[in-house]
Structure 1
Amino acid sequence: MHTFQNGWLGRLRIAGCIAAAALLAGCNLLPASGPYSAEVRNPQTQDTDGVGYKLVPMTASVVRVLSQLDGEGLIGTFRNDRRPIPDVKIGIGDLVGVSIFEASAGGLFIPAEAASRAGNFVDIPTQQVDSTGSISVPYAGQLRVAGLRPSQVEKEIIDRLRNRAIDPQAVVTVKEQRSNTVTVLGEVDAPIKFPLTANGERVLDAISRAGATQNKGYDMFVTLQRGGREATISFNRLIRDPVNNIYLQPSDTIYIYGRARTFLAFGASGKQGQFNFSDDAISLSEAVAKAEGLVDAQADPQSVFMFRLENRSTLERMGVDVSDIPTEGKVPTIYTVNYREPTGFLLTTKVPMRNKDIIYIGNAGSVEITKFLNLVLLGATTAREIADANSILYGPN
């Protein structure tokens, strides 16, 4: 049976072996709630999964880009489409009525015996604009009316009848619009599709027609789709910034939905977990405060990170080279913030949080040293207990 030849020497040997094992294994042997700050800052060596992410220091120029993007809203996306009131024209599927007037009886449409009918006009039966964009008018033939205003169609009819009718006049009326419509869908009381009028309808007009849900304003969002583009804005902001209450255009689609926006906080924050925005918009500094800030005895204020899937175009505007990221679409991005400097707090007041962002606060270096020393102490204590037990069983060495 093996026994220890030197009690204290044996204890130190065991403690030394544990310490050596810790050193050989590196920091990965120590407990932690996330990656070490040095690992985050070195994506080239630490990106073992091949995800590929960009590390972006939070500078004034970076903050300027991020704050401008948040401020775009509807008016930003549709900046070049500011038609104040839609130019409502006849479209395929619309129901059109035509009335033709003559100056006196005996013409094409008014019988010679004027007393035999009331009035000096005739109503052409209402007809639908066909798939070619045309309608038919007696003695005028087929007329292409899609994309024209009623006044333009009236002129065309008069020109075709001028040499056949007696001083003809025409009135064209859109009985029912089926092409110049706006659709409102989503979490509303009554989804609706309605025609635009010459008065002009805005986004809030459409929402009021459909009846908005009972979601809180900061948790309700409005998406406008137009011509292959779309933009989303919170209902509160739509109310607060009237410039975003833009005029609707034919074929617009509005989608309304409720969503509680959240962010996650991990690491050396006062509180970890998932947090609701509970407001129309919050900044990065407000999000850190919601997570009860940095733990004074644990956090490294130079190691505050915000994880986000960022648009490639946004990173390019910041001057970040994304050519080495093969994936299409959004790029995994980690923004670094230094709260050791006062400017770190000032900058993050202007950085808007987005849904599902992640905040991670790294540990200070002294915390890792303390963990290591505690591990060594645990090893030494274990070695001493083993030696004491050995002494009891086999006698002092």
Structure 2
Amino acid sequence: MSHFTLLSRVSALAVMTVLTSCAALPRSGPNEGAIVSEATAHIGKGAQKVGIDYVLVDLDKSIMSYLERYEPASFEAGFGGGRGGAPDITIGRGDILQLSVFEAQAGGLFIPADAGARPGNYVTLPQQEVDRKGNIAVPYAGDVHVEGLTADVVRRQIEERLANRAIEPQVVVTVVESRSNLVSVIGDVNAPKKVEISQNGERVLDAIADAGGISTPSLETYITLLRGGREATVLYDTLVKTPKENIYLAPDDVLSVNRERRTYMVFGAASATGRINFDDANLTLGQALGEAGGLSDTQADPAQVFVYREESRDQLQRMGVDMTKFAGSDIPVIYRANLRDPSAYFAISKFAMRDRDIIYISNAKTYELTKFLDIINNVSTTNGGVPSDVLNARNAIRGF
């Protein structure tokens, strides 16, 4: 039979089916036409485009340098303090201080001449709290402003004030209790608490450890640092593996530890579709496709593998995309990988997946025709030759 005769029979059968059999076909509920026609009100464009503008980016060598590593936020970049020594810890309101004053010999301002047996020529003053004005009271030195100063600076100030009255005075300033240099650690930790910052400094992981460590899987745990109206969020695994992100904390910082399930969606011609959990902190597109069982051999078009996500405006500008047609800071983007190209497999092994990415694998054109022929083959007809012709055509297409 000629191809023209086959197509004629198929077309005639399709038309007959549409005209005479639609109402009799089984279905689980009302069809799209009934739903639309019975609606009291309708908002939307119907079968037209949704209306969301997006950028289509084909994965190639020039693009991969922007996508190999994804760092959505950074403690080190946002706050600094990842390297070098610990920041100076200053005295604040509410702190409890204790002063010890030494003199070179007895008979001075603080040590009487008939002191008798003493462990040394010094006197320890009662502990006192830094008042609301940031001051402490020192005998013979008056009120001394200590707020915002280090213990060493306060020591020198008091020694200078006593120099003309005491005998070669030396002062030791001890912070007995720091109430102003605290960091709050909250969320999914075993013992939420306020952590005091020591003179040696406390890093993010130090504070989390002091709060008993995280109580959730590290791969799904995010650490958010809030400081002075700014914030940044880093995955716990990234924090552990990247020393520069383990920055020093500052007074009044808040560390919020939260578990968030990291997933991506797979649709279309994959061996397995649905929502899939990340099993690696640095999951790549190649690994994600592997988790989904790869592309369907009988259904997928390897040249049309898409990843849907929102990309920052700055990132797209660095890629050279003309952003004059787009508004906002986050732009919808579809990345396309052509897996018919052998070198594309190197690209997808470096393409970093992100939380809530969507992978869509398009059907091959021949598969769409095969589905149509399957429908025709299953429709009863009085023309006995058509089903066998359709079956032969379908099998031939599947053989491509």
For residues 13 and 342 of structure 2, what CA distance do their matches in structure 1 show? 47
Corresponding position: 1:149 with 2:150: yes
When residues 80 and 99 of structure 1 are mapped into structure 2, their CA distance, relative to the original with a 3 A threshold, is closer
For residues 172 and 265 of structure 1, what CA distance do their matches in structure 2 show? 63
Offset, 1:218: 2.3
When residues 357 and 222 of structure 1 are mapped into structure 2, their CA distance, relative to the original with a 3 A threshold, is same
Measured against aligned partners, the alpha-carbon deviations of 1:16-64 in whole angstroms (never above 9, x if no partner) come to: 47789xxxxxxxxxx9xxxxxxxxxxxxxx9833333222222333322
Query: More helix by proportion, 1 or 2?
Result: 1
Select between 218-227 and 254-263 the one with higher mean Cα deviation. Answer: 218-227
| 8 Å CA contact 1:73, 1:233 repeated in 2 | no
| 8 Å CA contact 1:88, 1:197 repeated in 2 | yes
Measured against aligned partners, the alpha-carbon deviations of 1:284-337 in whole angstroms (never above 9, x if no partner) come to: 11101111111122111121111112222322332223343334x432221111
Q: Which residue of 2 aligns with 1:333?
A: 333
Q: Which residue of 1 aligns with 2:22?
A: none
Offset, 1:369: 3.0
When residues 226 and 107 of structure 1 are mapped into structure 2, their CA distance, relative to the original with a 3 A threshold, is same
Offset, 1:119: 5.3
Q: Which residue of 1 aligns with 2:3?
A: none
Offset, 1:134: 2.5
Give the 5 Å matches for 1:104-119.
104-111=105-112, 113-115=114-116
When residues 342 and 77 of structure 1 are mapped into structure 2, their CA distance, relative to the original with a 3 A threshold, is farther
Measured against aligned partners, the alpha-carbon deviations of 1:330-359 in whole angstroms (never above 9, x if no partner) come to: 322211111111222111111121111110
Counterpart code for 2:232: E
Q: Which residue of 2 aligns with 1:184?
A: 185
Q: Which residue of 2 aligns with 1:394?
A: none
Measured against aligned partners, the alpha-carbon deviations of 1:179-210 in whole angstroms (never above 9, x if no partner) come to: 22233222121112222223343333322222
Offset, 1:131: 3.5
| 8 Å CA contact 2:73, 2:234 repeated in 1 | no
Q: Which residue of 2 aligns with 1:254?
A: 255
| 8 Å CA contact 1:11, 1:384 repeated in 2 | no
Counterpart code for 1:360: Y
Give the 5 Å matches for 1:316-395.
316-327=317-328, 329-373=329-373, 381=380
Offset, 1:159: 1.3
When residues 10 and 244 of structure 1 are mapped into structure 2, their CA distance, relative to the original with a 3 A threshold, is closer
Q: Which residue of 2 aligns with 1:65?
A: 66
- SS of the counterpart of 2:289? helix
Select between 79-88 and 136-145 the one with higher mean Cα deviation. Answer: 79-88
Q: Which residue of 1 aligns with 2:92?
A: 91
Measured against aligned partners, the alpha-carbon deviations of 1:199-242 in whole angstroms (never above 9, x if no partner) come to: 3433333222222245333233333444523231233x444444
Q: Which runs of 5+ in 2 are unaligned?
A: 1-7, 20-31, 33-46, 385-400
- SS of the counterpart of 1:69? coil
- SS of the counterpart of 2:370? helix
State the TM-score, normalized to the length of structure 2: 0.75
For residues 160 and 110 of structure 2, what CA distance do their matches in structure 1 show? 16
Q: Which residue of 1 aligns with 2:266?
A: 265
Give the share of equivalent positions with the same residue, in percent. Answer: 42
Offset, 1:84: 2.8
Q: Which residue of 2 aligns with 1:170?
A: 171
| 8 Å CA contact 1:96, 1:175 repeated in 2 | yes
Report how many residues are paired: 350
Q: Which residue of 2 aligns with 1:283?
A: 284
Counterpart code for 2:315: T
Larger RCO, structures 1/2 (Cα 8 Å, 6+ apart)? 1
Offset, 1:374: 5.1
For residues 312 and 182 of structure 1, what CA distance do their matches in structure 2 show? 34
- SS of the counterpart of 2:216? coil
